[in-house]
Amino acid sequence: MSGMQAVWPSGTECIAKYNFHGTAEQDLPFSKGDVLTIVAVTKDPNWYKAKNKVGREGIIPANYVQKREGVKAGIKLSLMPWFHGKITREQAERLLYPPETGLFLVRESTNYPGDYTLCVSCEGKVEHYRIIYSSSKLSIDEEVYFENLMQLVEHYTTDADGLCTRLIKPKVMEGTVAAQDEFSRSGWALNMKDLKLLQIIGKGEFGDVMLGDYRGNKVAVKCIKNDATAQAFLAEASVMTQLRHSNLVQLLGVIVEEKSGLYIVTEYMAKGSLVDYLRSRGRSVLGADCLLKFSLDVCEAMEYLEANNFVHRDLAARNVLVSEDNIAKVSDFGLTKEASSTQDTGKLPVKWTAPEALREKKFSTKSDVWSFGILLWEIYSFGRVPYPRIPLKDVVPRVEKGYKMDAPDGCPAVVYDVMKKCWTLDPGHRPSFHQLREQLVHIKEKELYL
C-alpha cells in the first residue's frame, strides 16, 4: 500500500481484482470479481477485516481488492466514444490529424441521410467508407452485415477485411469517456462468463428483463440491445453506482459486451412490482400494518434520495419492487437526475406527475412528494389506477383547480391526511420526505392506522 492510501471506513464496498485462497485460518478466501464489504481496519494497514455476500468474515489483503466508487457525475459515458454524430468530411479529417494508421471515427453521413461514414487514417490520408443502413442492418461491402455500429467496429478492429487497414485506435469524441473503461475504473464491471441468463421475467421497450444467476446468486438482468437505448441506460446505471440504501434496488454491476449490447445486473426482487403485488393479493391478504410498512419503506428510500439531491421523477407503484421477505424497494432510475436538471415532458405519466412539473418542467424533491401522495393512494386502494372515472385529458385542469381524489375505501383518516398534504398545489408548502417519514412513524407507533 502506498503511503498516500486513505483508510477505508467500515461499510466500504470493494471488488476483488484477483483470486485469494487465504493461507491462515482467519483469512477470507475470495475469487476475482467478488464483492466484499469492509468491516474494520486491522493493525496492519495492508490487511482489512471484511465480509462476503453470505456474511462470512475474515482478513483480506488490501492490494487484492479495489474500492468501489460512484461513477463520476457530469461525465458523458459512451458505448461508442468514437461516434461523432453530425460532423462534415472536413471536420473528420481535421480530427484524424496528425495522421496515424488505424486511427478512426464514425460520423453520420452528410450525403446520405440515415447512413453513416467510417473515417480511417491510413498511410497519411483519410479514407471515408459509406456504411449502408438497409432493412435494419449495417454493411460497408454488402457482404458482411451487422446489427449495430458497435458490432461493425468490433469486426474491423480484429480484421481489415477489405478496408485499407484494420481499426486500431478510436478517436474519442471530446468530453466522452468509454463506458467500459469507467465501469472498470470505478469497480462496477462484471464478467459475462460469470452470468447465466435463465428466463425472461419482464419486457420493456428497451429489451428483456431476465432472471439470471451470477456466481450462484439470483439476479435480475436488463438486457439492452440497441445503440441509442443502451446509451440512455448508461445514465441510469451510472446514477445507480452513486446510490446505496436498503430500500433502493441495488445495482450489482454492469457488463458492456461489444457484440451484444449492455447488461445491467441488479438484485432480484422475487415478488415483482408493488402494483401487481397489491392487485393480486388484495384486502384479504394484506393487513393495515403491511400497507403502512410498504409506505414507510418507500418513504425511507425517498428521504435518502432527498438528502443526496437526487430527484426520481417517476415514482409510482409500478416502479417499486417487492423482495422475497416483503421489503419494498424503489427501482427504475431511468429518469433520475441530479436535482437541478430539466427534462422533456413528452413521456411523463400525467396522473403521477406534479402540476408544476407538467406545466413548467420544474422537477424537484417536492414534485417527487406529489408522486408519493399518488403512490400512497395506490397502496391503500390495492393497486387501482389513480383518478378513476376521470378522462385523462381532464385530470390536469381539475387538479389545477384544486381537485383531490377521495380517500380509498377503508383508508385510515390519518393516512389520507398525509396524501392530501402531498397534493398541496404550491410545492413550497408540501412536506419534505423527512417530515413525511416522521409522520408515518408516528402513525405506526401510536397505532393510528388501525
Q: Which regions of 17-164 does DSSP assign to beta strands (E)? A: 35-41, 47-51, 57-61, 65-67, 76-78, 103-108, 116-122, 125-134, 137-139
Quick one: how far is CA 379 from the chain centroid? 24
Backbone angles phi, psi at 357, to 5 degrees: -75, -35
Quick one: how far is CA 26 from the chain centroid? 37
Please state at what angle helix 365-380 crosses helix 413-422, rounded to 10 degrees: 150
| Three-state SS letters, 257-290 | ECCCEEEEEEECCCCCEHHHHHHHHHHHHCCHHH
How many other C-beta atoms are found inside a 10 Å radius of the C-beta of residue 43?
A: 5
How far apart (Å, rounded) are the C-alpha atoms in residues 264 and 281? 30
How far apart (Å, rounded) are the C-alpha atoms in residues 39 and 289? 34
How far apart (Å, rounded) are the C-alpha atoms in residues 337 and 341? 7
Q: Which of 264, 220, 218, 222 is nearest to 241 (CA)?
A: 264
Active-site residue, from 34, 194, 297, 314:
314
Q: Which amino acid is at 43?
A: K
C-alpha cell at position 154? 468490433
How many other C-beta atoms are found inside a 10 Å radius of the C-beta of residue 215?
A: 15
314 carries an active-site annotation: yes
Residue 203 marked ligand-binding: no
List binding-site positions: 222
List binding-site positions for ATP: 222
Catalytic residue IDs: 314
